[in-house]
Chains A and B, each alone.
Chain A
Protein backbone atom coordinates (compact mmCIF):
# COMPACT_ATOMS: atom_id res chain seq x y z
CA UNK A 1 0.00 0.00 0.00
CA UNK A 2 1.60 3.24 -1.11
CA UNK A 3 -0.93 5.50 0.57
CA UNK A 4 -0.64 7.47 3.80
CA UNK A 5 0.29 5.17 6.65
CA UNK A 6 -0.41 5.75 10.35
CA UNK A 7 0.88 3.86 13.35
CA UNK A 8 -0.46 2.58 15.64
CA UNK A 9 -4.00 1.97 14.44
CA UNK A 10 -5.31 1.80 17.99
CA UNK A 11 -3.94 3.06 21.29
CA UNK A 12 -5.40 2.68 24.76
CA UNK A 13 -3.68 4.66 27.45
CA UNK A 14 -4.27 5.68 31.03
CA UNK A 15 -5.06 9.27 31.85
CA UNK A 16 -1.90 11.23 32.47
CA UNK A 17 0.32 9.14 30.22
CA UNK A 18 2.08 10.47 27.13
CA UNK A 19 1.37 9.03 23.69
CA UNK A 20 3.03 9.47 20.31
CA UNK A 21 1.58 8.73 16.89
CA UNK A 22 3.39 8.44 13.61
CA UNK A 23 2.33 9.35 10.08
CA UNK A 24 4.15 8.40 6.89
CA UNK A 25 2.84 10.48 4.00
CA UNK A 26 2.82 9.57 0.35
CA UNK A 27 6.36 9.79 -0.91
CA UNK A 28 7.27 13.26 -2.22
CA UNK A 29 4.15 14.90 -0.81
CA UNK A 30 5.34 18.16 0.65
CA UNK A 31 2.33 18.99 2.79
CA UNK A 32 1.22 16.98 5.79
CA UNK A 33 -1.87 17.64 7.91
CA UNK A 34 -3.15 16.37 11.23
CA UNK A 35 -6.86 16.27 12.01
CA UNK A 36 -8.88 15.02 14.96
CA UNK A 37 -12.28 13.41 14.66
CA UNK A 38 -14.64 12.72 17.53
CA UNK A 39 -17.76 10.61 17.36
CA UNK A 40 -20.46 12.09 15.20
CA UNK A 41 -18.30 14.95 13.96
CA UNK A 42 -16.30 15.66 10.87
CA UNK A 43 -12.52 15.89 11.03
CA UNK A 44 -11.17 19.07 12.66
CA UNK A 45 -7.90 20.60 11.58
CA UNK A 46 -5.06 20.53 14.10
CA UNK A 47 -1.87 21.53 12.30
CA UNK A 48 0.02 21.27 9.05
CA UNK A 49 3.57 21.18 7.70
CA UNK A 50 5.07 22.21 4.43
CA UNK A 51 8.20 20.14 4.20
CA UNK A 52 9.68 20.36 7.72
CA UNK A 53 8.15 23.71 8.63
CA UNK A 54 5.06 23.77 10.82
CA UNK A 55 3.07 26.60 9.28
CA UNK A 56 -0.20 26.64 11.19
CA UNK A 57 -1.60 25.33 14.45
CA UNK A 58 -5.25 25.33 15.39
CA UNK A 59 -6.46 26.73 18.69
CA UNK A 60 -7.59 23.16 19.34
CA UNK A 61 -3.94 22.22 19.74
CA UNK A 62 -3.27 22.86 23.41
CA UNK A 63 0.20 23.09 24.94
CA UNK A 64 0.02 19.37 25.65
CA UNK A 65 0.11 18.63 21.93
CA UNK A 66 3.24 18.85 19.83
CA UNK A 67 3.91 17.79 16.27
CA UNK A 68 7.13 17.44 14.35
CA UNK A 69 8.24 16.61 10.85
CA UNK A 70 12.00 16.66 11.30
CA UNK A 71 13.17 15.71 7.82
CA UNK A 72 10.16 16.73 5.84
CA UNK A 73 9.04 13.13 5.49
CA UNK A 74 7.26 11.32 8.34
CA UNK A 75 5.59 13.23 11.16
CA UNK A 76 4.88 12.53 14.81
CA UNK A 77 2.09 13.87 17.01
CA UNK A 78 2.68 13.69 20.74
CA UNK A 79 0.10 14.24 23.43
CA UNK A 80 1.43 14.76 26.94
CA UNK A 81 -0.54 14.11 30.12
CA UNK A 82 -3.49 12.68 28.23
CA UNK A 83 -7.02 13.48 29.33
CA UNK A 84 -10.23 11.62 28.64
CA UNK A 85 -11.27 14.41 26.30
CA UNK A 86 -8.34 13.52 24.05
CA UNK A 87 -10.09 10.28 23.09
CA UNK A 88 -10.66 10.56 19.35
CA UNK A 89 -9.54 9.38 15.94
CA UNK A 90 -6.38 11.19 14.84
CA UNK A 91 -6.11 11.46 11.07
CA UNK A 92 -3.12 12.34 8.96
CA UNK A 93 -3.32 13.54 5.38
CA UNK A 94 -0.76 14.54 2.79
CA UNK A 95 -0.82 16.44 -0.46
CA UNK A 96 1.50 17.64 -3.17
CA UNK A 97 1.19 21.32 -3.76
CA UNK A 98 1.45 22.25 -7.38
CA UNK A 99 -0.68 24.39 -9.62
CA UNK A 100 -4.26 23.18 -9.82
CA UNK A 101 -3.80 20.03 -7.76
CA UNK A 102 -4.25 20.03 -4.05
CA UNK A 103 -6.07 16.77 -3.30
CA UNK A 104 -5.43 15.54 0.22
CA UNK A 105 -4.99 11.81 0.76
CA UNK A 106 -5.89 10.47 4.19
CA UNK A 107 -4.49 7.73 6.32
CA UNK A 108 -6.65 5.22 8.15
CA UNK A 109 -6.18 7.04 11.42
CA UNK A 110 -5.07 6.24 14.94
CA UNK A 111 -7.90 5.69 17.39
CA UNK A 112 -6.93 6.90 20.86
CA UNK A 113 -8.84 5.82 23.95
CA UNK A 114 -7.90 7.43 27.25
CA UNK A 115 -9.17 5.49 30.27
Chain B
Protein backbone atom coordinates (compact mmCIF):
# COMPACT_ATOMS: atom_id res chain seq x y z
CA UNK B 1 0.00 0.00 0.00
CA UNK B 2 1.13 3.52 -0.71
CA UNK B 3 1.03 5.65 2.39
CA UNK B 4 2.56 8.78 3.87
CA UNK B 5 2.81 9.28 7.60
CA UNK B 6 3.53 12.53 9.38
CA UNK B 7 3.64 11.62 13.05
CA UNK B 8 3.46 15.15 14.46
CA UNK B 9 0.29 17.20 14.13
CA UNK B 10 1.90 20.24 15.70
CA UNK B 11 5.52 21.31 16.06
CA UNK B 12 6.27 24.42 18.05
CA UNK B 13 9.75 25.97 18.13
CA UNK B 14 11.33 29.30 18.92
CA UNK B 15 12.77 31.57 16.27
CA UNK B 16 16.32 30.58 15.44
CA UNK B 17 15.93 27.00 16.60
CA UNK B 18 16.43 24.05 14.23
CA UNK B 19 13.36 22.42 12.75
CA UNK B 20 12.75 18.88 11.56
CA UNK B 21 9.35 17.82 10.25
CA UNK B 22 9.13 14.07 9.96
CA UNK B 23 7.74 12.14 7.03
CA UNK B 24 7.75 8.39 6.46
CA UNK B 25 6.37 6.63 3.45
CA UNK B 26 5.36 3.21 2.24
CA UNK B 27 5.84 2.53 -1.47
CA UNK B 28 6.93 -0.26 -3.75
CA UNK B 29 9.33 0.98 -6.39
CA UNK B 30 11.22 4.24 -6.74
CA UNK B 31 9.30 6.93 -4.89
CA UNK B 32 8.95 10.54 -5.92
CA UNK B 33 8.41 12.71 -2.86
CA UNK B 34 7.42 16.30 -2.28
CA UNK B 35 6.86 18.79 0.49
CA UNK B 36 3.92 21.16 0.09
CA UNK B 37 3.29 24.18 2.32
CA UNK B 38 0.13 26.11 3.06
CA UNK B 39 0.51 29.52 4.66
CA UNK B 40 -2.46 31.08 6.41
CA UNK B 41 -5.25 31.95 3.96
CA UNK B 42 -3.17 30.86 0.97
CA UNK B 43 -3.35 27.92 -1.37
CA UNK B 44 -1.28 24.79 -1.13
CA UNK B 45 2.03 25.26 -2.92
CA UNK B 46 5.05 23.15 -3.68
CA UNK B 47 7.99 23.77 -1.39
CA UNK B 48 10.45 21.24 -2.73
CA UNK B 49 10.79 17.84 -4.37
CA UNK B 50 13.43 15.24 -3.70
CA UNK B 51 14.58 14.87 -7.30
CA UNK B 52 15.63 18.51 -7.43
CA UNK B 53 17.92 18.25 -4.41
CA UNK B 54 17.39 21.95 -3.86
CA UNK B 55 17.13 24.21 -0.85
CA UNK B 56 14.09 26.45 -0.79
CA UNK B 57 13.69 29.17 1.85
CA UNK B 58 16.46 27.43 3.77
CA UNK B 59 14.61 24.11 3.86
CA UNK B 60 16.14 20.85 2.67
CA UNK B 61 14.87 17.29 2.59
CA UNK B 62 16.83 14.13 1.91
CA UNK B 63 15.28 10.90 0.74
CA UNK B 64 16.44 7.99 2.89
CA UNK B 65 15.30 4.81 1.17
CA UNK B 66 16.64 2.59 3.94
CA UNK B 67 14.50 4.31 6.55
CA UNK B 68 11.74 5.18 4.04
CA UNK B 69 11.87 8.77 5.25
CA UNK B 70 11.85 12.22 3.73
CA UNK B 71 12.21 14.58 6.66
CA UNK B 72 12.13 18.34 6.12
CA UNK B 73 14.82 20.34 7.88
CA UNK B 74 15.82 23.92 8.44
CA UNK B 75 18.73 24.95 10.67
CA UNK B 76 17.26 28.25 11.89
CA UNK B 77 13.48 28.69 11.92
CA UNK B 78 11.91 32.05 11.13
CA UNK B 79 8.49 33.32 12.20
CA UNK B 80 7.39 33.44 8.57
CA UNK B 81 7.92 29.67 8.37
CA UNK B 82 4.77 29.17 10.46
CA UNK B 83 2.41 27.18 8.23
CA UNK B 84 0.93 23.74 7.53
CA UNK B 85 3.40 21.38 5.90
CA UNK B 86 2.33 18.32 3.93
CA UNK B 87 4.56 15.52 2.76
CA UNK B 88 3.32 13.88 -0.45
CA UNK B 89 4.16 10.85 -2.53
CA UNK B 90 3.45 10.59 -6.22
CA UNK B 91 1.32 7.53 -6.89
CA UNK B 92 2.13 4.71 -9.23
CA UNK B 93 -0.16 5.99 -11.94
CA UNK B 94 -1.31 9.29 -13.24
CA UNK B 95 0.70 11.65 -11.10
CA UNK B 96 -1.84 11.76 -8.29
CA UNK B 97 -0.41 12.75 -4.94
CA UNK B 98 -0.82 10.83 -1.71
CA UNK B 99 -0.59 13.22 1.20
CA UNK B 100 0.26 12.83 4.84
CA UNK B 101 -1.98 14.33 7.50
CA UNK B 102 0.13 17.45 7.72
CA UNK B 103 2.20 19.07 10.45
CA UNK B 104 1.46 22.54 11.70
CA UNK B 105 4.70 24.41 12.33
CA UNK B 106 4.49 27.27 14.78
CA UNK B 107 7.57 29.46 15.16
CA UNK B 108 7.43 31.66 18.22
CA UNK B 109 9.34 34.92 18.57
Contacts and interface: CB of A to CB of B under 8 A. Distances in A.
Contacts, number: 59
A56 B94 contact: yes
Interface residues of B, number: 24
A108 B46 contact: no
B95 A102 contact: yes
A85 interface: no
A88 interface: no
Interface stretch (A16-24, A41-49, A67-75, A76-84): A41-49
A39 B91 CA distance: 23
B13 interface: no
A75 to B, nearest CB: 15
Please tell me the size bucket of the interface on A: 20 to 34
Contacts of A48: 94-96
Interface in B85-109: 86, 88, 90-91, 93-102
B49 interface: yes
A45 B46 contact: no
21 contacts: A3-B43, A31-B94, A33-B95, A33-B96, A40-B101, A40-B102, A42-B4, A43-B86, A45-B96, A45-B97, A45-B98, A48-B94, A48-B95, A56-B93, A56-B96, A93-B97, A103-B49, A104-B46, A106-B44, A106-B45, A108-B43
